[in-house]
């Protein structure tokens, strides 16, 4: 079985290949590429003889997959798989697995990095201090006692909720599947948007979540509320968010994800918005998370070889 690792996965090459050897032994011939490319021609050239491929968030579409006759398994070293043509994979009976869970801790950490940065004006404070200024106009807020809303109650959403509880927040959640979790009040989305001081998004991108947070939903928020998006960019209408920030309809936002992967065009509408913190899709990216992810990748492939695939999408 030929396994092609199509891009670096955030772990030192020797260590990664050692992990692969430990997990797969002689069951796989492993080809590793230490550069990330996205053009169709190169992806086809790299993949064309593979029985299985591993990739993170590279666009992996039908025009690539259809030219890989031996391909039977795609291991996505990521949680979301909207960048892979799942419909065509189903037609071809190609197994697609993800690595859900590897970034749960990392993403939740960044949520609170953004929240605290916004609540305590950390970036403006840094700037004014360097310029010889004072705290005037930069007095912030405490998390304790705030209503914290979680949109999407998967593993990342629930971890975020638990951390919010530790800060002394009153936690609300919205999910398509209502759950019974002590200390979390499940409500409809409109109630959450209108009630909470902080709204953090943790839903996958699909037909039902694209544009979920639109002009109407943003209009429900308190003027003192902030929005955090570490989920997927298209879940939020960027134009509507920019308008809400610039008009003072909401107080601030933290955005890690956009409609496209970084580099983000410098003219993006959000870059002109007030009181906004942006990061380049980095929530999942910690050294610890990358190692967890590699473990899951090779375990997924091992289980697939054994005829017991896991994390199947």
Q: Note the pLDDT tens digit of each residue in 190-213.
A: 999 999 999 999 999 999 999 999
Q: What is the DSSP letter of 178?
A: -
On whether the CB atoms of residues 254 and 281 are closer than 8 A, the answer is no
Which pLDDT belongs to residue 178? Answer: 78
CATH number, domain 104-278, options 3.40.190.10, 3.40.50.720, 3.30.70.20, 3.40.630.10: 3.40.50.720
On whether the CB atoms of residues 20 and 12 are closer than 8 A, the answer is no
3-state secondary structure of 15: helix
- Both structure tokens of 5: 């690792």
On whether the CB atoms of residues 124 and 133 are closer than 8 A, the answer is no
- The answer to whether 120 is a known catalytic residue is no
**C-alpha–C-alpha distance, residues 251 and 203, integer Å:** 22
Q: Where are the domains of the chain?
A: 2-102+286-305, 104-278
On whether the CB atoms of residues 71 and 293 are closer than 8 A, the answer is no
Which pLDDT belongs to residue 250? Answer: 98
CA nearest neighbour of 290 among 99, 101, 102: 102
Rounded to two decimals, the pTM is 0.90
The pLDDT of residue 8 is above 90: yes
- The answer to whether 232 is a known catalytic residue is yes
The pLDDT of residue 66 is above 90: yes
Q: How far is CA 140 from CA 113, 123, 136, 251, in A?
A: 15, 12, 11, 12
The pLDDT of residue 42 is above 90: yes
- The answer to whether 268 is a known catalytic residue is no
Count of CB atoms within 10 A of residue 304's CB? 21
On whether the CB atoms of residues 57 and 30 are closer than 8 A, the answer is no
Mean pLDDT of 30-58: 96
The pLDDT of residue 177 is above 90: no
The pLDDT of residue 179 is above 90: no
Which pLDDT belongs to residue 232? Answer: 95
CA nearest neighbour of 222 among 258, 249, 191, 256: 249
Q: What percent of the chain has pLDDT over 90?
A: 96
On whether the CB atoms of residues 257 and 232 are closer than 8 A, the answer is yes
**Close Cβ partners of 21 (under 8 Å, ≥ 6 residues apart):** 30
Select which of 159, 202, 232, 293 is catalytic. 232
Burial 170-185 (b: 16+ CB within 10 A, else e): bbbbbbeeeeeeeebe
- Both structure tokens of 269: 């509408």
Which pLDDT belongs to residue 120? Answer: 98
185 Ramachandran zone, left/alpha/beta (phi>0; psi -120 to 50): beta
Give the residue ranges of DSSP H helices in the chain.
13-24, 40-47, 62-65, 86-92, 104-119, 122-130, 155-166, 189-195, 215-219, 238-247, 287-305
**C-alpha–C-alpha distance, residues 150 and 22, integer Å:** 39
**C-alpha–C-alpha distance, residues 48 and 42, integer Å:** 10
Count of CB atoms within 10 A of residue 90's CB? 12
Model confidence over 223-267: pLDDT tens digits? Answer: 999 999 999 999 999 999 999 999 999 999 999 999 999 999 999
The pLDDT of residue 156 is above 90: yes
Domain 2-102+286-305: give its CATH architecture: 3-Layer(aba) Sandwich (3.40)
Same fold, 2-102+286-305 and 104-278: yes
Which pLDDT belongs to residue 294? Answer: 97
Q: Determine if the peptide bond prior to 263 is cis (ω within 30°).
A: yes
Q: What percent of the chain has pLDDT over 70?
A: 100
Task: Tell me the pLDDT band of 80, cut-offs 50, 70 and 90.
Answer: confident
Which pLDDT belongs to residue 225? Answer: 98
DSSP string, 21-67: HHHHGGG-EEEE--S----HHHHHHHHTT-SEEEESS--B-HHHHTT
Select which of 281, 288, 291, 293 is catalytic. 281
Select which of 49, 261, 268, 291 is catalytic. 261
């Amino acid at each position: 079985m030929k396994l092609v690792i199509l891009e670096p996965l955030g772990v030192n090459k020797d260590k990664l290949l050692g992990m692969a050897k430990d997990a797969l032994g002689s069951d796989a011939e492993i080809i590793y590429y230490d550069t990330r490319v996205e053009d169709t021609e190169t992806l086809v050239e790299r993949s064309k003889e593979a029985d299985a491929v591993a990739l993170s968030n590279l666009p992996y579409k039908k025009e690539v997959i259809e030219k890989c006759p031996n391909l039977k398994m795609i291991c996505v070293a990521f949680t979301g798989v909207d960048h892979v043509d799942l419909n065509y994979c189903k037609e071809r009976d190609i197994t697609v697995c993800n690595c859900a869970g590897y970034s749960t801790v990392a993403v939740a950490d960044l949520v609170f990095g953004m929240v605290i940065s916004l609540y305590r004006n950390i970036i403006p404070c840094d700037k004014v201090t360097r310029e010889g200024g004072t705290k005037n106009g930069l007095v912030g807020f405490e998390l304790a006692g705030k209503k914290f809303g979680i949109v999407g109650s998967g593993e990342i959403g629930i971890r975020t909720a638990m951390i919010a509880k530790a800060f002394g927040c009153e936690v609300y959640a919205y999910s398509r599947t209502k759950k019974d979790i002590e200390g979390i009040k499940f409500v409809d989305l409109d109630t959450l948007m209108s009630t909470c001081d902080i709204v953090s998004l943790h839903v996958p991108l699909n037909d039902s979540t694209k544009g979920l947070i639109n002009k109407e939903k943003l209009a429900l928020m308190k003027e003192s509320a902030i929005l955090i998006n570490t989920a997927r960019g298209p879940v939020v209408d960027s134009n509507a968010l920019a308008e809400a920030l610039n008009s003072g309809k909401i107080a601030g936002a933290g955005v890690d994800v956009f409609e496209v992967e970084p580099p983000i065009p410098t003219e993006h509408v959000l870059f002109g918005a007030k009181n906004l913190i942006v990061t380049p899709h980095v929530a999942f990216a910690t050294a610890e998370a990358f190692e967890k992810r590699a473990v899951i990748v090779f375990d997924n492939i091992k289980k697939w070889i054994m005829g017991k695939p896991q994390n199947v999408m």
